A and B are shown apart, each in its own frame.
Chain A
Amino acid sequence: MPRYAMVIDQRRCVGCMACVAACKTENNVPLGSFRTRVVEVVGGEFPNLRMELRSELCNHCENPPCAYNCPTGASYKESDGTVQIKRYKCVGCKACIAACPYEARYIDDKGVADKCSFCEHRIKQGKEPACVATCLGGSRIFGDLDDPNSPVSKILSEVGSSVLLKEAGTNPKVFYIRKLSKLE
């Protein structure tokens, strides 16, 4: 089975938000909620400022606290390594929202604690997730970590990367290549 992951190459992100729009359209994300977002983080002290554009989404963790805390098994780890939701089982208790350190979940208009699925329906058709397909700068890269020839494996072997909140121990599968950062 594949082990899907995403790489966010922040060096190539222009903050066009096309990924956010594509995701909302593809997945009918309700008004006011987001499966992915582009966060603008400004660091440094004036006049030496620097802005980071960081795409955030569900990290499809190896150790997903949302799935561990789900009382009904609605959130679960799929065999391809992604974290998915059985919508019919969700009771809307919001334990998964409280458990997620990445704040990737929201309650949709049906009361389900929804989130990014890596566009599971598209992957099954052999397509890339909508945000990856639409990313004009090639900042979002998707593929199988266990396949050495996949785009994610290739770029991760070439360039240093990091994950968000490593200290949470969730082993995220969304990797970041940071602009101006030193190689690890």
Chain B
Amino acid sequence: MEITITGANELTYPTLHIWNWMVSLYLFLGGVTAGLLIMSAIGNLRARNLRTEEKIDVIKAAMFAPFVLMAGMFFIWLDLERKLNSYWFFLSFSFTSPMSWGGWGLGLILPLSMLYALSVVPEEYRHWLKFDFLKNLSRWLNPHMTALARTVFALGIFLGIYTGILLSVFVARPLWNSSLLPVLFLTSALSTGAALIIIISKKKAAQLFFTKVDIWLISAEIIIIALFFLGHLTSTAPQRESVMPFFSYSHEYFVFGLSFILIAFFFPLALVMKLMHVQEEHHEQISGGSLFRMKLSAYMVLAGGFIIRLAWVYVGQISKLS
């Protein structure tokens, strides 16, 4: 029976199961890390001379970044079929392979983001570090914070773009094969990074600042998504077909149609909630209802960012040139 081949099934086309949610989660967490690094680098560079209490949120963001990245790297490692062979990523380099660039990039970003996180730990909080060598390293790195912040800013942009380029280079997958995808993923990375800072932040000034930043980023994201679909719908037949699962509500594509509805629901709603929030009069502390709306909109941005990666990874595998 096995040699009776009819064509369109999982046995004949194993590509229907190339990458799963673990890759989507890695792309999402990589994007969040990129956003955290960029936002915290800007924050720490701008707030160099402020008191610790005033810049505590961007310090926290810098300390979150390596942990989020490690979680992402754990999931991409889980997706490897030959996990014990993963050292080969660092014994070879292929100029034409974005995954090779990414492997080396992550190998550089992870330690540098750790050093950056240590460099921003203020004197009065250093006793929280468990080991003496970490305290000493943090003390030694502190004067180099500016250089490290500039480095992780550049590496954050690399990481944000890379997660999109990883997919966009595949000519065989018309949905992914667009130069807008890295731009979309970078914008989404910045937006989710800002959203996470809003969630972990306790300071009104920081919450309002990153809410204003996120308004611009969400607006850009909505425009880029619209242009992405417009570009595909007006392109060649395979590209046009590749976006159709987002607009089909048949049983096999329903989940992709639903993802499009959620994206089309979350981002505009989050945008409106954020606009309402920044236009309100705020006292010393943000009121309960307003704070709830602000955090809810930030969670919506995070959910939207994850849904984008999830939907794009799956729908891209269905798309074909023929």
Q: Compute how far the CA of A72 lies from the CA of B81 in the bound complex, rounded to whole angstroms.
A: 14
Q: Report whether A70 and B170 are in contact in the complex, using a CB–CB cutoff of 8 Å.
A: no
B276 at the A/B interface (Cβ < 8 Å)? no
How many residues on B have C-beta within 8 angstroms of the other chain's C-beta atoms?
41
Interface-located stretch among B31-39, B88-96, B142-150, B288-296: B88-96
Give A contacts to B, CB under 8 Å. Answer: 17, 20-21, 24, 31-34, 37-41, 65, 68-74, 88-95, 97-101, 103, 105-107, 110-113, 164-165, 167-169
Q: How far is the CA of A110 from the CA of B19 in the complex (A)?
A: 17
Residues from chain A with a CB closer than 8 A to the CB of B5 are: 17, 20, 34, 37-40
Among B86, B103, B171, B317, the residue within 8 A (CB) of A168 is B171
Residues of B within 8 A of A72 (CB): 85, 88-89, 91-92, 94, 100
Q: A39-B5, A69-B99, A72-B100 are in contact. List 12 more A-B contacts (CB 8 A).
A: A20-B5, A21-B3, A32-B2, A71-B92, A72-B89, A93-B99, A99-B169, A100-B172, A101-B320, A101-B321, A103-B13, A106-B14
- Chain A residues with CB under 8 Å of B100's CB are 71-72
**8 Å CB interface, B182-232 against A:** none
* Minimum C-beta distance from B147 to chain A (A): 30
| Separation of A70 and B88 alpha carbons in the complex (Å) | 11
B86 touches A98 (CB 8 A): no
Q: In the complex, are the beta carbons of B86 and A91 less than 8 A apart?
A: yes
Proximity bits, B1-27, A CB within 8 Å = 1, else 0: 011111100011111001100000000
Query: CB distance B7 to A69 under 8 Å?
Result: no
Chain A: minimal CB distance from B210 (Å): 35
B2 to A: closest C-beta gap in Å: 7
- Residues on the B chain within 8 Å of A71, using CB: 89, 92, 94, 97, 99-100, 102-103
**Are the C-beta atoms of B94 and A91 separated by less than 8 Å?**
no
Q: Please state if B169 and A69 are interface contacts (CB–CB under 8 Å).
A: yes
Q: Which of B79, B89, B170 has most chain A Cβ within 10 Å?
A: B170
Q: With A39-B7, A68-B97, A103-B13 given, is the CB distance from A91 to B89 under 8 Å?
A: yes
Determine if A40 and B13 form an interchain contact, defined as CB atoms under 8 angstroms apart: no
Who on chain B is nearest to A89 by CB? B88
A65 contacts B171, C-beta separation under 8 Å: yes
